[in-house]
Amino acid sequence: MSDRYIFDPRDERYKSPFGAVTCGQSVRFTLRPLAGEGFVACCLVADCEFAAETRTCDLRDEGSHGDLFSGVFPAPDRPELVWYAFRFTRADGSFVYFGRSGYCDLEHLHRWQLTVYNGEFETPQWFGDGVTYQIFPDRFCRLSIPDPAGMVGDRVVHQNWDDQPVYRPDENGQITNRDFFGGSLRGIISRLDYLAELSVTTLYLCPIFEADSNHRYNTADYMAIDPMLGTEEDFITLCREAHGRGMRVMLDGVFNHTGSNSRYFNALGYYPQLGAAQSQDSPYYPWYTFHRWPHEYDAWWGVQTLPAVNENDPDYRRFIISGEDSVIRHWMRRGADAWRLDVADELPDDFIADIRAVMTEENPDSFLLGEVWEDGSNKVAYSLRRRYLLGGETNGLMNYPFRSAALNWVTGGDAADFREAMETLRENYPPAAYYSALNILGTHDTVRVLTLLGVARGAETDTKDQRAAYRLSPAERIRGAMRLRLAALLLYAFPGSPTVYYGDEAGMEGFEDPLNRGTYPWGNEDGALLKYFRRLGALRKDRISLQRGAISYLYAKGGGLVFRRAAAEEQTLIALNAGEEPLELMLPWPSSMATDALTGQQFFVRDEMLHLSVPPVSGLMLV
């Protein structure tokens, strides 16, 4: 990190405005080197990656002593990633560069990132403001035990809702995911009031289209609801009932690959129409890339049951995106408000942009989310720099960087590292994308957060059988629940949509897939934890500062993390302590009293200074 006395890109005295800028926007840069360095000139050197050109901008010596250089750089008029640094000139004509790691020569220069995005594309505010709830449909709620006869695939249905999901591989070493519990769309409808009590505003449903696996990420028919989940009319009813409670519905779009048993590939002949694996005359044959038909073909990460689709095939694009009754249009017209793009890294940029355009045609207030696990502003996938957030593609991304940073801190890391990771995102992301991130502690692809936070080091979890049988001890559950409360408070107080993976609020346990996909424990929830999540949801719903307020950090060191959210006249201060000792702080406070919104505890203020003592592994939300 460079010397912040010379230049700090996160301080508006040095760079204004903060963070990403719109196309053509003017950016003022100011540097304050020591007069003793003897600099007579300073120049901004900006490498524009997509345009493959370098631009320079002279900064004037406004201090007359070589200690204050300032100037305005016009951002490119097209979306761009600009990598910039500074070049100082001495009286003898020699150069020295200044970048992220301080003064250096050109060979060792590390540049800063300036994201330039198209600000004409709008992002609806409803998503980032509210609470998202992710549902794995087969495991959330069933109203009756379904009969799988006649359904695609070889399905087995658990009679006992409390059974453990099948986790052992078959004779070929494959986890088939063919065991079902019978959760349904009508089951979700029956629990909408429960979700309303959690202040949920977005239902994010893992795939609901016909497929022969319980996770349904191997789509068999994009135009049909899986019959075990219900019917198209059930989906319409779900959307109508959700909308009536102020909730929107997000569907999971798996468009990079289909299932090998889909009606399009049809490897085992489940469907009457010829699929690509049965005939090269099939209308679906051009959708796939065969090397030796029919057994050698491109597949997602080499998994033969997931044949990859050629997203550049015009017929496939019409079917998914642009056709009059395309997949995107069909389900939006039946009530869907948003789409989440599975494995967005595998989809071409123009494919994503076309989806966004059609979604906007159908509903200008719709939302497009991308599954990306890293900083999406500078992501490289398959040797291509991606453009997810530069305008015209996704509105927001899954915030796995938040999850990593938050859980690292909660389990003993340094709060300074959390702040640095999140401030890097805030600096790199367009503001609307930063405030529309899907913030998570756990998903269907991760270990259950309570298990992760509670399990003791050295526990016997080396084998899958051991992990399947493992249950947290009473002491481990207490530790896990305390840490989860702390992490959840951070989640609900942070910019972006706080997202709950079904059952985390009820204290569900489980290691990796499919152990993290158990059935919701209706009637056996952790009541105290559930009550806590309801309170957090109510606070998020009621306080505009938590929904869209600016964030500023007051303390970030070791286990202590304190930040403020402010919007208009409303302020909320969040003081968190992940350490093993009380956190003692003196903080400025504008009134004579502060109240913890979680417990009602009141704190008196003297001379506009608030003394706080935050117990170990706990937090306060002061209003």
Q: Over the stretch 532-545, which tens digit does the pLDDT of each residue have? A: 999 999 999 999 99
> pLDDT per residue over 130-156, tens digit each?
999 999 999 999 999 999 999 999 999
CA separation for the pair 177, 181 (Å, rounded): 11
Taking alpha carbons only, the member of 435, 418, 447 closest to residue 512 is: 447
Q: How many residues does the chain have?
A: 623
Whole-model pTM? 0.97
Strands 560-567 and 570-577: antiparallel
Q: What is the mean pLDDT of residues 509-516?
A: 97
Measured CA distances, 610 to 52, 587, 591, 603 (Å): 52, 5, 9, 8
Position 3 pLDDT exceeds 80: no
d(CA 102, CA 100): 6
pLDDT tens for 55-94 read 999 999 998 788 999 999 999 999 999 999 999 999 999 9
Amino acid at 568: A
| DSSP tag of 214 | S
**Residue type present at position 437:** A
Give the closest residue to 402 by CA, choosing from 515, 271, 551, 190.
551
Task: Measure CA 236 to chain center.
Answer: 27
Characterize 31-63 residue by residue with b for buried, 16 or more Cβ atoms within 10 angstroms of its Cβ, and e for exposed. bbbeeeeebebbbbbbebeeeeeebebebebee
Domain boundaries defined on the chain: 15-117, 125-256+311-542, 257-308, 547-622
CA distances from 167 to 164, 186, 248, 468 (A): 8, 27, 33, 8
Write out pLDDT tens, residues 287-313. 999 999 999 999 999 999 999 999 999
pLDDT tens digits for 157-187? 999 999 999 999 887 777 789 999 999 999 9
In this prediction, residues 89-113 reach a mean pLDDT of 93
Residue 268 is encoded by which pair of tokens? 């085992």
Bond before 76 cis per omega within 30 degrees: no
Q: What would the 3-class secondary structure string for 428-485 be?
A: HCCHHHHCCCEEECCCCCCCCHHHHHHCCCCCCCCCHHHHHHCCCCHHHHHHHHHHHH
Question: How far apart (Å, rounded) are the C-alpha atoms in residues 179 and 165?
Answer: 7
What's the CATH code, domain 125-256+311-542? Answer: 3.20.20.80
Give the pair of three-digit tokens for residue 426: 């805030």
Mean pLDDT, rounded, for 120-125: 96
Task: Tell whether the model's pLDDT for residue 220 goes beyond 80.
Answer: yes
Structural tokens at position 215: 């996770």
pLDDT of residue 173: 76
Give the CA angle between residues 452, 253, 234 to the nearest 5°. Answer: 95
For residue 204, the surrounding DSSP H or E stretch is: strand 200-205
pLDDT digits 0-9 by tens, 370-399? 999 999 999 999 999 999 999 999 999 999
CATH architecture, range 15-117:
Sandwich (2.60)
* Residue 564 dihedral angles phi and psi, to the nearest 5°: -120, 140
Closest to 71 measured CA to CA, from 93, 89, 86, 83: 86
Q: How far apart are CA 216 and CA 231, in angstroms?
A: 16
Q: At 1, is the pLDDT very low, low, confident or very high (cuts 50, 70, 90)?
A: very low
- Beta strand pairing call for 338-341 and 438-440: unpaired
- The CATH H-level (homologous superfamily) assignment of domain 547-622 is Golgi alpha-mannosidase II (2.60.40.1180)
Percent of the chain with pLDDT strictly greater than 70: 99
The token pair that represents 245 in the structure block: 């409670």
Report the mean per-residue pLDDT for the chain. Answer: 96
Radius of gyration of the chain (CA): 26
CA 396 – CA 435 distance, rounded (Å): 8
Q: Report pLDDT digits (tens) over 233-255.
A: 999 999 999 999 999 999 999 99
Write the single-letter amino acid at 5.
Y
3-state SS assignment for residue 596: strand
**Percent of the chain having pLDDT more than 90?**
93
| pLDDT class of 208 with cuts at 50, 70, 90 | very high
Burial class (CB in 10 A: 0-12, 13-18, 19+), 486: buried
The string of DSSP codes covering 317-370 is: HIIIIISTT-HHHHHHTTT--EEEETTGGGS-HHHHHHHHHHHHHH-TT-EEEE
pLDDT of 345 reads: 97
Higher pLDDT, 544 or 589: 544
| 15-117 and 547-622: identical CATH topology | yes
Query: Could you read off the pLDDT of 331-351 as tens digits, one per residue?
Result: 999 999 999 999 999 999 999
